[in-house]
Chain A
Amino acid sequence: MKRYNVILILIDGARVDRLSQSKEFLNLIKEGTFFSQMIAHAPYTLVSMNSIFTGMYGGRNGIDAYYKMFKLKEECKTLAEYLANNGWHTQGDAMRLSLVSNRGFKKLTEHDESNTDYSKVHCDMMDEIIKNKEKDQPFFAYLHYPKIHTSIVQNVFSKYDDFSDEYFENKENNLINYDSYLKSAGEYLQIIYDKLLSNQLDKNSIIIVMSDHGMGVGEKKGERAYGVYTYDYSIRSFAIFIQPELFPKGKDILDLTRTIDIMPTILDILGISTDNSFLKMQGESLMPLLKDKKRFKKKLFFSKNSDFERVAYAETGGLYGPWPSPNEPNVKCVRTSKWKLIHNLTPDTCELYDLEEDPEEKINVIDKYPKIVKQLKDKHSEIEKDCKSAK
């Protein structure tokens, strides 16, 4: 197994459906394999990042709400820990140290997002990594770009609340603003990618460009940007894996995948076996998706002896919105490629969307498909039980 470097570039808050607005993103998508239907476990960074770095849902790793910020369970092993234990030099720059566990990182920094030039800081960090690691030692670099978040905080959070007509009636404008933030992210991305190329780091590295969650622009009243609901604009994310030896260039994987699958994929590629003395990951390696298309052909939903096709689970408990719930998640969602079932615990309502017919989730068809609702509810219980189980 080749000991590739792992370079994880996280563009916080990048919406997959707006990536086409940025030519830099489009170029990178051509360079690697693009997983375009990757569902985040939560529409906000704290829970999403911790689920990514442990390969399991918040119900299992301990961080499933804003106020569980410091409650990552001791029995989880993070991606950085796996890599560090196997000889990788691990270093990263997180948006804030409270959002990403530093377990396993030899060095994890944070900067003031309002006045930091991330292109420069991260280029310097890459230099520092090269300088500090041993000669043939592989490294894991984590680069978190938070400027989309910063712009949203400055231009949306501090100006409007979750019910401001001024904001919700101006969706086009909000979208134009968002696109401009995404374009800046693209520019950052280009600088970093160029830096990696110029140092020849792309040759022996797996570069992952991804997002931890999307962003709303006023599609649903009650949520200015993210964190309150689990609609696709905030929970649908993406990942681009760049390494020609493993990932075919220009390939699009449309199958449903999850952000919690990223860590198992990396461990699978590097040949690092799971440590059974820790909590078991719930994500699965995505490598099979690249090879044998036949195995992952969509199984018929109602097929008697097949298991359900792949299912993603997301949940959130907003700090604001119609039902604030910072201590526990109160909006839970089960999603397949076609269907999404949402359960809003506080008002005890449910929503069902046919994502193929109604991708913008405008028409609630909860009453029309009781069988599907039942199957999704069963799947939801199964997942919740799985989260609570010890191993």
Chain B
Amino acid sequence: MQRKSRMPTYREVIYDGKNNTNTKLKPNILFLLLDSFRADKCYGNNKTSMTPNIDSLIKNGVYFNQAISSAPSTNAGVSSIFTGEYPFKAIIRNRNCYTLNPKTINYINILKDYGYHAYAIVRELFTLTGLTRDFGNNVEAYYNDSVLYDGLGQKIIEKLKSSNTKEPWFYYIHLMDLHKPEIGVPEEFNDEKYGSNQYERMLSVMDVWIGKILQSINLNNTLVVLTGDHGSDDADYTSSVEKNKKDALNFKPGLMFKLGRKIVGRFPAFLLPFRTMLREMYLMERQKIMMRRKQKALAKIKNLNITASEKRILLNAIDPDSHVYDERLRIPLIFAGYEVTSNSIMPQQVRTIDIFPTIAEIIGLPGKKENLDGISLLPLLQGKKIEEVPAYVQSAVNWSEIKNSNVIGIRTSEYKYFRDANNPKKNIHLYNLKNDPLEENNIAQMKQEIVEEMERKLTEIRKNSLPQGEQEELTEAIQIKKIEEELRKLGYINNDMKRKLKLKS
């Protein structure tokens, strides 16, 4: 089959070492990913937190005001970022959850091939999902509830300054502080001036440490990228919502149960089988009570006289579901440091899958990654214009309690369109983002022609992924190379041996 001439891929350029004429100095790259960081809480009128350091970073760098994540979950979100590809290519179903597709080449590997040392500081849970696979041993996994102010920030600074961190380095730091802000904002920050709710106050706390982290690096030779993997509902919670959520999700047993439990706890040994049975009955009863409570709370919310978007947030607080409304998808994106000089706020829509292609172009990586969905935003950083590209979005599918079936869709700066993932005729939504930014008014019925246009764009995006066969062929060849390298390292084969063997390649 004749291959059309095309731009060489990274693999071809880098492995072809002799022709590599790139002598540009490679900057370090600091990639700060704040889990659950929502765009409107980073910059704009909706923000009530106090973040002088993030503000300064925005002021001295470039801020993308309409950056969209492909999915409202970390797995899909981060996998897409690392590969520059949409989730339906970047991740695969791995039993009960989704993990980085081992068959795709991702930017961590490309950076390493280009001479970078890749390090990561992530929550321990993520090391089990394949997201940190390509960092090898250079992963510092912190325990799940660690936040910047209780030691994690200090550790990060130590790592960045350590002599074991070799240049040029790529440091991926994934912070969970905003994910469950109710875990604990320190006392001195629990005040209106730091934000109107726990989420924003936590952000104010984080900002202090982000400032310290930024001070520990040299911004002249470090490219800084700060973004989020998805948005958050918590960002809008008021203290009464926080309380309602807690109450609905916690069950405080009444006096009867407490007494019963004491008695059962004192059962003599021969009655133990009864104890087990009683305990099971108790658990079932408790389950039923919680369900009833939940249903009551949900019914109450549905009857409230509030806006549709407020209702949506409250309902999700009690009964979480996955969706693709902007509060979950719109995240901040800041480029600062090394060679980013333009200091501006960019209003046009960009996507998280564009982040790494942009980094690649900034640092002078030659060639182009195969199967890329993202594009480089460097022209925008240089003050040029580029056409807006639609963002594919999908809901997260790795929730065990999923209620509605999954949705997929397209977002442009004008419209948000989504529908049932399997049936284009089911559960169709269309929102006019310019008139109805809170997505309260589904206009799908009235705007059929726009629905059709969006559906066309959606189909095109899904079709444009490389045919599965070609992808597999390429990765097969790479795998064989890796295997031979390993066998050589193990001492099993050397060049003499290889000649004697008839190895398939």
- List residues of chain A with CB under 8 Å of any chain B CB: 66-67, 69-70, 74-75, 84, 96-99, 104, 106-107, 109-110, 149-150, 153-154, 157-158, 161, 227, 277-278, 319-320, 324, 326-327
Contacts and interface: CB of A to CB of B under 8 A. Distances in A.
B491 A69 contact: no
Given A107-B139, A153-B491, A157-B491, 7 more contacts: A69-B486, A70-B482, A75-B95, A158-B491, A161-B497, A319-B492, A320-B501
Nearest to B127: A106
B59 to A, nearest CB: 40
B492 A84 contact: no
18 contacts: A66-B487, A67-B504, A69-B486, A70-B482, A70-B483, A74-B94, A96-B490, A106-B124, A106-B128, A107-B141, A109-B137, A149-B490, A161-B500, A319-B492, A319-B493, A319-B497, A319-B501, A324-B501
B265 interface: no
A318 to B, nearest CB: 10
Interface of B: 92, 94-96, 102, 124, 127-128, 136-137, 139, 141, 479-480, 482-483, 486-487, 489-494, 497, 500-504
Contacts of B493: 319
List the 7 closest pairs (A to B, CB-CB), nearest first: A153-B491, A98-B486, A69-B483, A324-B501, A157-B491, A319-B492, A109-B137
Nearest to B500: A320
Nearest to A95: B490
A278 B491 contact: no
B494 A158 contact: yes
A66 B501 contact: no
A302 B117 CA distance: 63
A206 to B, nearest CB: 23
B483 A104 contact: no
Nearest to B140: A107
Contacts of A154: 491
Contacts of B102: 70
Contacts of A110: 137
Contacts of B503: 326
Residue from A67, A75, A161 whose CB has the most chain B CB atoms within 10 Å = A67
Contacts of A149: 490
B125 to A, nearest CB: 10
Nearest to B125: A106
A74 B102 CA distance: 11
Contacts of A74: 92, 94-95
A96 B487 CA distance: 10
B482 A324 contact: no
A113 to B, nearest CB: 9
A106 B141 contact: yes
A109 B494 CA distance: 25
A107 B497 CA distance: 34
A161 B483 CA distance: 21
B486 A96 contact: yes
Contacts of A106: 124, 127-128, 141
A99 B489 CA distance: 12
Nearest to B94: A74
A103 to B, nearest CB: 8
B106 to A, nearest CB: 16
Contacts of B502: 324
Residue from A75, A97, A153, A319 whose CB has the most chain B CB atoms within 10 Å = A319
Residue from B139, B489, B492, B501 whose CB has the most chain A CB atoms within 10 Å = B492
Given A97-B136, A106-B141, A67 B483 contact: yes
A150 B482 CA distance: 21
Contacts of B127: 106-107
A277 B95 contact: yes
Contacts of B492: 66, 153, 157, 227, 319
Contacts of A104: 128
Contacts of B139: 107
Contact of B95 (A98, A99, A278): A278
A84 B128 contact: yes
Contact of A153 (B479, B486, B490): B490
Given A106-B124, A278-B95, A319-B492, A327 B483 contact: no
Contacts of B92: 74
Contact of A326 (B124, B486, B494, B501): B501
Contacts of B500: 161, 320
A153 B493 CA distance: 10
Contacts of B95: 74-75, 277-278
Contacts of A66: 483, 487, 492
B10 to A, nearest CB: 20
Contacts of B136: 97
A66 B479 CA distance: 12
Contacts of A84: 128
A362 to B, nearest CB: 28
A109 B341 CA distance: 41
A279 to B, nearest CB: 11
A320 B497 contact: yes
Contact of A327 (B96, B479, B504): B504
A319 B504 contact: no
